Amino acid sequence: MTSTDRNSASGPADQPGVARAPIRTFHPRRGRLSGRHVDALDRLGPAFRLPVPEDPATTAATDPNPATTDPTAAAATAPDPATAPDPVAEPVDLPALFGRRAPVVLEIGSGMGEATAAMAAADPDRDYLAAEVHTPGIANLLAMIDRRGLTNVRVADGDALVLLRLLPPASLAAIHLFFPDPWPKTRHHKRRLIQPGNVALLRDRLEPDGRLLCATDSHDYANAMRETLTADPELVNAYAGFAPRPDDRPVTKFERRALAARRPVFDLVFVRKGAGPVGGDRSGQGRIDRR
């Protein structure tokens, strides 16, 4: 693991001779599972779920309340070890995972899965790999895969940054980062996913002309993302500034909340440099091919 693959933490890890622990870009959360969700994990997990190994350096350093975790809640969220696949510990073979060769879209933070399922259903020629850490969200997406008969979705259970390190370079047609945690407090900005080192990793996994699409309702984070992405020498903004809202991006609960609160939503589309020119109206007023 290189220094560009992870951010450094503050506190005891800053002491000389003490290794710095990577910083999680998400809140570890627990939630109870319904019977339908337990069934989805047990029945569909082996075929559609890709457990991602825990980064051991983050476990002790970032568990919010290790001594106060409710054992009943933990038991309610834990999948059956007899049916859960073993975590991936080697590079991911995407054609083997999906059973075909097709462009792959990585959805980082799929939440309860409604947007991922909708996009995959409308885009059957591409495969969707949804990365999520919240067990009820993983289970809900598995249930939707079953209900809608989707064959082009797989669910990666774990930290998206760890998953990215297991994916081959230039293996993704697109990466979606819709409404990530903005970490609004200044002291928490280091936890934002869009950081220079993380952007280098994201860009490396995109194929030439592959696209990174971001959306947020945080004006501060939107400007920070645009600045950081613009600074990457191998990424090009498909627009002169923020992009118009993609027609094919489903409205999520986070976007509905933003609109209800009259907060504007900011979209960004960046393209990894390739052989040809970046398509689209660079004035920011037109539409582009959104892969």
Q: How far is CA 255 from the centre of its chain?
A: 17
pLDDT recorded at residue 164: 96
Interval 136-144 mean pLDDT:
95
On the question of pLDDT at 289 being above 50, the answer is no
pLDDT recorded at residue 286: 33
CA distances from residue 285 to 42, 78, 236 in whole angstroms, order as listed: 47, 47, 17
On the question of pLDDT at 280 being above 90, the answer is no
Asked if residue 160 is part of any domain, the answer here is yes
Distance CA 5, CA 201 (A): 6
Q: How far is CA 234 from the centre of its chain?
A: 21
Asked if residue 10 is part of any domain, the answer here is no
* Residues forming a β-bridge with 236: 271
Asked if residue 47 is part of any domain, the answer here is yes
Split into its structural domains, the chain has a count of 1
Q: Return phi, psi of residue 26, to 5°.
A: -140, 160
On the question of pLDDT at 56 being above 70, the answer is no
Active site residues: 181
CA distances from residue 16 to 7, 13, 20 in whole angstroms, order as listed: 17, 8, 10
pLDDT recorded at residue 86: 52
Band of pLDDT at residue 288, cut at 50, 70 and 90: very low
pLDDT recorded at residue 291: 38
pLDDT tens per residue, range 225-274: 999 999 999 999 999 999 999 999 999 888 999 999 999 999 999 999 98
Band of pLDDT at residue 186, cut at 50, 70 and 90: confident
Task: Note whether 125 and 103 are within 8 A (CB).
Answer: yes
pLDDT recorded at residue 80: 44
Q: Return phi, psi of residue 154, to 5°.
A: -130, 155
- Tell me the H-state helices in 4-84: 35-48, 56-62, 71-77
Asked if residue 291 is part of any domain, the answer here is no
Calculate ∠ Cα 198-200-205, nearest 5°: 100
pLDDT recorded at residue 64: 35
On the question of pLDDT at 57 being above 60, the answer is no
Interval 147-156 mean pLDDT:
97
Distance CA 278, CA 238 (A): 6
pLDDT recorded at residue 32: 75
Asked if residue 282 is part of any domain, the answer here is no
Rank 3-17, 32-46, 198-212, 247-261 by mean pLDDT and report only the highest: 198-212
pLDDT recorded at residue 42: 92
Asked if residue 59 is part of any domain, the answer here is yes
pLDDT recorded at residue 97: 97
Which residue type is seen at 121? Answer: A
- Residue closest to 291 by CA, chosen among 132, 160, 201, 176: 176
Q: Which domain holds residue 188?
A: 33-272
CA distances from residue 175 to 60, 93, 144 in whole angstroms, order as listed: 29, 17, 21
Cα distance between the two ends of the chain: 30
Asked if residue 290 is part of any domain, the answer here is no
Percent of residues, the chain, with pLDDT higher than 90:
61
DSSP string, 180-249: -----SGGGGGG-S--HHHHHHHHHHEEEEEEEEEEES-HHHHHHHHHHHHHSTTEEESSSSSBPPPTTS
pLDDT recorded at residue 83: 43
On the question of pLDDT at 210 being above 70, the answer is yes
pLDDT tens per residue, range 77-113: 444 434 445 555 689 999 999 999 999 999 999 989 9
Interval 13-20 mean pLDDT:
42
Q: In this structure, what CATH number is given to the domain that contains residue 132?
A: 3.40.50.150
Q: Is 57 or 191 the better-scoring residue by pLDDT?
A: 191
Asked if residue 193 is part of any domain, the answer here is yes
pLDDT recorded at residue 34: 75
For 244-259, b/e burial (b = at least 16 CB within 10 A) is eebeebeebebbeebe
CA distances from residue 79 to 46, 57, 100 in whole angstroms, order as listed: 11, 23, 28
